[in-house]
Amino acid sequence: MIDLANQKVDTLPSVGEKSKQDLAELGIETIDDLLSYFPYRYEDFHISELTQAKHEEKVTIRGRVVAQPSVRWFGKNKSRMLVKLDVEGMIIHVIWYNQTYLKPKLLNGKVIVVSGKWDLYRRQVVAERTVINEEEQKRLLGRFDPVYSITNGIKMGWLRKLIYQAFAAFGSEIPEILPKELRNRYKLLPRAKAMYYLHFPKNRQEYALARRTMAYEELFLYECKLLWRKRTQTLQTTGIAHSFAEEQVDQLIESLAFPLTGAQQRVVREILADLKKEKQMNRLVQGDVGSGKTVVAAIALYANYLSGYQGALMVPTEILAEQHTDTLQKILSPFGMRVVTLTGKLTAKERRERRAEIEMGLADIVVGTHALIQEAVVYKKLGLVIIDEQHRFGVKQRAALRHKGESPDVLFMTATPIPRTLAITVFGEMDVSTIDEMPAGRQPIDTYWVKKEMWPRVIRFIEKEVTKQRQAYVICPLIEESEKLDLQNAQEVFEQLTIELAPIRVGLLHGRMTPAEKDAVMTAFANNEVQVLISTTVVEVGVNVPNATVIVIYDADRFGLAQLHQLRGRVGRGGGKATCILVANPKSETSVERMRIMTETMDGFVIAQRDLELRGPGDFLGVKQSGLPDFKVADLKEDGRILEVARQDAIRLIYHGAFATDPAAQRLLTWLQQEQMETDRLD
Ligand code: ADP
Ligand code: MG
């Protein structure tokens, strides 16, 4: 068999030096690249079912001309021609702009084919392509032409032909990847056929079958890779086997001001079990905003301490570092633990002192921002690393902390719940725990969406709440990442409210302030010396001031759903009935939809799912951060079911030795082994 991945494209006679370079620009260097350069859409000349067509959908129709064309001129060169067409008994209008040369051919009674956008309300099509010749109609109709993304040097027709030639020459060399049993079970096509149909489907059925086959294959391969890596990690027993008495941990839990929720208890047990194992823990805790992740972190850190190790807690902002330090101190210092903070606001001297404490082992827990990894922090005996709000960190930052010390256990926490299908893809290598229960007594947050015209009434509402001893956040957005504009915006609102709400005290918080300034404002707000806090999104993650019961989000349409949900989570944290007001005059349909979703649900998982649907997985996670693979055919928005099935099958192959006699499966395993050796070498 020929290895198509090593076969250069210029083995095809029609590829010369110039076209070889043009193809390379598209990332096509080998025959394998060429065969899997799939079209991103198809030119489709099927007659559409007009009664089913949606507004603005592109349609192709065939109908009989039933009246003379009427033409209107605008000046010398511009014209609009209208024809009444009988499409299976339905009379519609077809409009042509500046194509009066067609007029003599549009005779009464003539059957023509037209494609263009369907205007459902006016019952008309604006013609983009017109085919009057009967022979040509026959030739075109029912055809699917692949459309590839191309650069200047390459012509569509040429590329189509080239791919066709490549199939003729090498199609029989395309290796099977899927075990036969799986192909049979899901009625999938042989690989060569699926790839061919994906380029040149004769009809929708062929396309659908090919897409399903390739999507499954892609996801199956991906899961195999993930699981293979995970399995090799499991076999390496390089982690720390923590040893502690669970009764002592229980004492800490009993000392808390509240009983743990069932979900918190379950997740705590999962973490404790991981700590005891010799294998390095790699676990993600996902839990909605306010589900109580901090206390779970505290318990894990205590168990780690009982085993004789130091712990580190990394958070995305200084404010959060301060707050977590407070929380941990309250819970853990009665048990003899010493918590220190490492942030940017320390003086050089303080920083040296803290680093010394850490190095000598006097500090049991270090809480900090990415200062934890950036600086030359040396731990005496680091046993557990917790990364809070992990989605705020890049892949590299996360990895860096993991590699401090000797394979410490690692726990990630996130309040951005990820729909299940994405979770198993992005976090395929991690174990996932979910806190899917809120502490008792939480009331839903009343969420309203109002137009900007209501702003004066919103201000009166804030005033009313503050007179009831409550506190409020007013969030102003970042505009185009411009700190300057952002600041002005928050600044303006601050000035306005300072005047309008006097004598109520109003504070201002934004990313351009020094750490000390931020800290001062935040402390004042936490102590209720400031009642209304105007802020940019620096309070987005984690901040906990239970007495704040109102959050107003100005220009709310500028935020994504996940962010809005995070922001809303700053209120309703145990301080009584809470309200969230979204102030926005959204311009697009999707922004309106986002406002609606926010007013309809409080469930972070539902919101995440809707967000995924609105934005697609790439934007949803921010591809760079997420480590989400770029699939060629599969689409996680639609193929969630396939993904789950593919994962189950991959588990059978990797863990249970299934398909042992299948040559395709054996080839796949060999390939996985080689891939693994390759990545190990690169690490
Ligand atoms: P998040 O999961 O968003 O990080 P936090 O850990 O900040 O949430 O917890 C939110 C609030 O809920 C805190 O004030 C915390 O003390 C409180 N809390 C946590 N667990 C419970 C519980 N089981 N019962 C009651 N209140 C709880
Ligand atoms: Mg938190």
Cα distance between residue 515 and residue 523, in whole Å: 12
CA 146, CA 164: separation in Å to the nearest integer?
Answer: 11
Give the C-alpha separation, 209 to 230, whole Å.
31
Q: Which residues have their alpha-adjacent CB atom under 5 A from ion ligand 2?
A: 293, 542
d(CA 288, ligand 2 centre) in Å: 9
CATH (residue range 47-141): 2.40.50.1010
Average pLDDT, the chain: 87
Q: What confidence score (pLDDT) does residue 143 get?
A: 77
Residue nearest to atom 16 of ligand 1 (CA): 292
For 204-253, the pLDDT digits (tens) are: 889 999 999 999 999 999 889 888 887 876 666 678 999 999 999 999 99
Q: Looking at residue 10, what is its pLDDT?
A: 93
Nearest residue to 85 (alpha-carbon basis) of 115, 109, 101: 109
Q: Which residue, judged by its Cα, is nearest atom 14 of ligand 1?
A: 573
Domain at 446-601: CATH architecture: 3-Layer(aba) Sandwich (3.40)
Place 372 in a pLDDT band, splitting at 50, 70 and 90.
confident
Residue at 456: amino acid letter: P
Q: Please state which of the ranges 135-139, 389-393, 401-405 shows the lowest mean pLDDT.
A: 401-405
Does pLDDT of 405 surpass 80?
Answer: no
Rounded distance from Cα 372 to ligand 1 centre (Å): 25
Higher pLDDT, 183 or 629: 183
Least confident range from 91-100, 323-332, 540-549: namely 540-549
Q: Which bound ligand lies closest to the C-alpha atom of 604?
A: 1
Ligand 2 centroid – CA 119 distance (Å): 49
Residue 221: strand, helix, or coil: helix
Domain segments of the chain as ranges:
47-141, 175-236+641-683, 246-435, 446-601
Q: Out of 3.40.50.300, 3.40.50.720, 3.40.1190.20, 3.30.1330.40, select the CATH number for domain 246-435.
A: 3.40.50.300
Same fold, 246-435 and 446-601: yes
> Which ligand has the nearest atom to the CA of 285?
1
> What pLDDT, on a 0 to 100 scale, did the predictor assign at position 523?
86
User: Cβ–Cβ contacts within 10 Å for residue 338, how many?
Assistant: 14
Contacts 24+ apart (CB under 8 A), 331-334: 331/252, 331/255, 331/256, 331/295, 331/298, 332/252, 332/298, 332/301, 332/302, 332/305, 332/364, 332/365, 334/255
Helix (H, G, I), strand (E, B) or coil at 291: coil
